[in-house]
Structure 1
Amino acid sequence: MDRVAEILAEASAEAVEPRFRALAAGEVMEKAPGEVVTIADREAEEIIARRLRELLPVPVVGEEAVAADPALARALHDEPAAWLVDPVDGTANFVAGRPEYAVMCSLVRTGQTVASWIWQPATATCYRAELGAGAWRDDHRLTRPPAPQDAAALRGSVKSRFLDPEHHERLRANVSVFAEVSPGRHAAGIEYPDLVEGRVDFILYWRTLPWDHAPGSLLVTEAGGVSARLDGSPYRPEAPGCEDGLLVAADPQTWELTRKILLAD
């Protein structure tokens, strides 16, 4: 666990942090409509992938490698074990000079996330989780604080960018009962720790790319929260293309209450 945390921090120091608010012309590219990638993403992923293979020689499913060759994502289900890497989570924030970005990694065995790491360079903070062994911020073990039982006191975020119009309109009408609902901070590596630390009580995602959600989902569940599909099935990392929703909440009661309100006709 410690060595992987060191790898993420080292790669961040080598390839990411020196370019924060210092990206040169030509170092930011569009890889899909509305989505950017930087030289920092690509170089950090190369460093992390190489060092992770030295630690455990299994396939590395990296966000940028999969963008070039989508078939690489099959390793999540075809191989007994695989690394998942998001070299710069929150790339749009990074490009804009906002400090809400992270470097993330997970280890997946037989389709289940068994360990995860989130490095937040702006605060030099490492979040990590191990299946059955708990969740941690640096050396401090994390337990999610209780959420309010009244929906009118709950705070959360709804990620509506990839919602279809029907769901978008339904959610817009339903969220008014909560104390506060924001569009989020545009980086899963910031949002999941926010939930574990008690800054929000729930998050609704729609598109669930595995490198974005495997690290934080394990962190949340090991801290006592819930990360589940809208049908109640526990989150497992899926290859890109899965867009059937993911609701993350402070505890089972909050998950059930939030789901009931969000999906109400």
Structure 2
Amino acid sequence: MKIDDVTEILREAAETVVMPRFGALAAGEVSEKTPGELVTVADREAEALISRRLRDLLDAPVVGEEATAADPTLPRALNESPAAWVVDPIDGTGNFVAGRPGFAVMAALVRDGETVAGWILRPVDGTAYVAERGSGAWRGGTRLRRAPAPADPAALRGDVLTRFLDEPARARVAAAAPRFASLGRGASCAGVDYPRLAEGERDFVLYRRILPWDHAPGTLLLDEAGGHARRLDGSRYRPGEDRSGLLAAADPDSWERARALLA
């Protein structure tokens, strides 16, 4: 398997299934799978196409976001199978439905519980990010190398996704906000948030809910670019673990500074 083969699969899904429906969804093509969680016909069709093509490359279980909604046991494969694919057919479905460009098509390959390769495609502008454990992170043909963030917390720019935080955690975030240069809410799309971190537009992002299709590609991209994505206890993120809380940052020092103020 060549790593670019997966990029081409994501491009095929974006070009044939996703983009033809961007800004053109009919009322019956959008629904809620759980309260507040949108799904579209494009999500389901893109996941089916990507899953089929990935199995042609490597015959391994596919843990897809939409398939897991129908069968919650699927993520067990991330720990129980020697290899497994992870697929997010449209990350940022809310943005996609609203006609905003902040969405992505993503995939990852997990071996023995560790993410070893990840892909993020942004269909609107065609930008592709690829990471392979031990081989670096790339945007197209350009290698990504994340520079360290400023030492002063007052110069750090970050995001916190507050939607899934409890009230005490939201209060801590509100109290910490004046200590940073800026503190936003993120793009509502991990496929946008992680590249922003890797390319230096943000210095940290704090997540509460950690789903494998949202975070397996991006954590590897950031780590391979020289950043630092870890659980709040400092342990490495593993996509098959059912725990919450993840802080992604430009480097270990900024990770520690952000955690001290936020968590």
Q: Deviations over 1:6-57 (max 9, x none)?
A: 0000011111000000001200010000110000000000000000000000
User: 1:255 matched to which residue of 2?
Assistant: 255
Aligned-residue CA RMSD in angstroms? 0.8
Q: Map of 1:201-216 to 2, 5 A cutoff? A: 201-216=203-218
- Does the 8 Å CA contact 1:115/1:128 hold for their aligned counterparts? yes
Other structure's SS at 1:255 match: helix
The separation in 2 between residues aligned to 1:176 and 1:223, in whole angstroms, is 29
The separation in 2 between residues aligned to 1:123 and 1:46, in whole angstroms, is 23
Q: Map of 1:16-31 to 2, 5 A cutoff? A: 16-31=18-33
Establish whether residue 72 from structure 1 lines up as the match of residue 58 from structure 2.
no
Q: Map of 1:1-265 to 2, 5 A cutoff? A: 1-238=3-240, 242-243=243-244, 245-263=245-263
TM-score (norm 2): 0.98
The Cα of 1:146 is off from its aligned counterpart by 2.4
The separation in 1 between residues aligned to 2:150 and 2:75, in whole angstroms, is 39
Unaligned stretches of 5+ residues in structure 2: none
Range with greater deviation from structure 2 (145-154 or 225-234): 145-154
The separation in 1 between residues aligned to 2:212 and 2:104, in whole angstroms, is 15
The Cα of 1:175 is off from its aligned counterpart by 2.2
Other structure's SS at 1:175 match: helix
- Does the 8 Å CA contact 1:101/1:120 hold for their aligned counterparts? yes
The separation in 1 between residues aligned to 2:230 and 2:199, in whole angstroms, is 19
Identity of aligned residues (%): 61
Amino acid at match of 1:242: R
Amino acid at match of 1:254: S
The separation in 2 between residues aligned to 1:225 and 1:182, in whole angstroms, is 19
The Cα of 1:169 is off from its aligned counterpart by 1.0
The separation in 2 between residues aligned to 1:238 and 1:148, in whole angstroms, is 33
Q: Deviations over 1:123-158 (max 9, x none)?
A: 110000000000000010000022111111100000
The separation in 2 between residues aligned to 1:189 and 1:238, in whole angstroms, is 19
The separation in 2 between residues aligned to 1:51 and 1:158, in whole angstroms, is 35
- Does the 8 Å CA contact 2:47/2:89 hold for their aligned counterparts? yes
**4+ long deviations beyond 2 Å:** none
TM-score (norm 1): 0.97
Amino acid at match of 1:117: W
The separation in 2 between residues aligned to 1:59 and 1:230, in whole angstroms, is 29
The separation in 2 between residues aligned to 1:145 and 1:99, in whole angstroms, is 27
The separation in 1 between residues aligned to 2:41 and 2:140, in whole angstroms, is 28
**Alpha-carbon spacing, 1:183–1:27, altered in 2? closer, same or farther (3 Å):** same
The separation in 1 between residues aligned to 2:261 and 2:173, in whole angstroms, is 9
Other structure's SS at 1:211 match: helix
The Cα of 1:164 is off from its aligned counterpart by 1.1
Aligned length: 261
- Does the 8 Å CA contact 1:209/1:242 hold for their aligned counterparts? no
- Does the 8 Å CA contact 2:76/2:240 hold for their aligned counterparts? no
